[in-house]
Amino acid sequence: MPDTKRPGRTGLLPMSVVAAFTRLAYQRKFISEEAGLRTLARPKGPSKPPSAIMRRYEVSTSQEHGFDLHRVRPSGPDTGVTVIYLHGGAYTSEIVSQHWSLIGHIAARTGHEVAVPIYGLAPDHQGLAALSFVTAVIADLVAEGRRCYLAGDSAGGGLALLAAQAVSGEAGGVVGVTAIAPWLDLSISNPEVDLIEPHDPWLRRPGLRPLAAAWAGSLPLRDPRLSPLFGDLSCLPPLQILVGTRDITLADCRLLRDRLPSAVPLTYHEEPGALHVYPLLPVPEAGPGREAVVTHIRSTTRLTHP
């Protein structure tokens, strides 16, 4: 996740500068199969909330179903809603400061509690276990009487959609989903990716393929429990997708948009010239992206209030 020096009073950089930095610093993680295998083998970092989050919010951590679950609570009355945020990182990289920044923003601007499940990462853990953990967290929260809204970026956006599909039809369930540049098909086989990949300064298919294989284990990459593009789309709650046009996930986001039944409310936005997970980056476009996320969460949870 790009973390560049941030000049100026706003702390923001032009998208072109972040793109150049990203190409130099991060594309090497995915440029080849060998690079992907090195990324897969890299030691994991800590997953505890940073001090800035601990100071500003009430934060509790528990061990749930074998993994850490952090719950971030803003000041003010309890709304009865929990936003479950699932971090990206190609299913092999840990949660980082940019994720926590967005988590804090969601908590502050919506007034809702944000739960952060720290699901196991490849190569030691695989996709079905992560899905089982997240759906168990949803069930626990619903049993507490809470309404759940799922949000996530990149791999976490794909996992959010998988979880929404898995719990569809259950009482309480999930009332909405925000997916920021979600990884929708582990096989990355959409031919439209060919047209986008040369313009994406970050992601490359050769390095992502070993990560997808490790996450899938013995299952096919297009198994609907791993790749939500091939699951039941008719069961989804109100859905928001945000994606940039210099992002290889764009191809499948468009495909999902076109396949989604008209009965599923969709808020879809493509940001021209934007990179992967642009609402998390230090760019001017991130501000409107974050506010769009907050607006969708607030409007959806208000509309679904009992």
pLDDT digit of tens for each residue in the chain (306 aa)? Answer: 765 444 333 579 999 999 999 999 999 999 999 999 999 999 999 999 999 999 999 999 999 999 999 999 999 999 999 999 999 999 999 999 999 999 999 999 999 999 999 999 999 999 999 999 999 999 999 999 999 999 999 999 999 999 999 998 776 689 999 999 999 999 999 999 999 999 999 999 999 999 999 999 999 999 999 999 999 999 999 999 999 999 999 999 999 999 999 999 999 999 999 999 999 999 999 999 999 999 999 999 997 654
Is 42 part of a structural domain of the chain?
Answer: yes
Q: What is the pLDDT of residue 169?
A: 77
Q: What is the pLDDT of residue 170?
A: 74
Q: What is the pLDDT of residue 11?
A: 76
Is 66 part of a structural domain of the chain?
Answer: yes
Is 22 part of a structural domain of the chain?
Answer: no
Is 263 part of a structural domain of the chain?
Answer: yes
> Which 3 state secondary structure label does DSSP give 103?
helix
Angle, nearest 10°, between helix axes 205-216 and 33-41?
Answer: 50
Pair of tokens at residue 285 = 């476009």
Is 23 part of a structural domain of the chain?
Answer: no
In the chain, the number of structural domains is 1
| Alpha carbon separation from 85 to 88, 114, 180, 231 (Å, rounded) | 10, 7, 11, 21
Q: Which helix (H) or strand (E) holds 266?
A: strand 266-271
Q: What's the one-letter identity of residue 259?
A: R
d(CA 93, CA 276): 15
| Alpha carbon separation from 80 to 145, 237, 245, 291, 306 (Å, rounded) | 7, 18, 36, 21, 11
CATH number of the CATH domain containing 195: 3.40.50.1820
For the stretch 81-108, what's the b/e string if a residue is b when 16 or more beta carbons lie within 10 angstroms of its beta carbon?
A: bbbbbbbbbbbbbebbebbbbbbbbbbb
Residue 77 structural domain = 32-303
Is 15 part of a structural domain of the chain?
Answer: no
d(CA 104, CA 75): 12
Q: What is the pLDDT of residue 77?
A: 96
Is 298 part of a structural domain of the chain?
Answer: yes
d(CA 64, CA 67): 5
d(CA 78, CA 141): 14
Pair of tokens at residue 195 = 């047209």
Q: What is the pLDDT of residue 296?
A: 98
Is 103 part of a structural domain of the chain?
Answer: yes
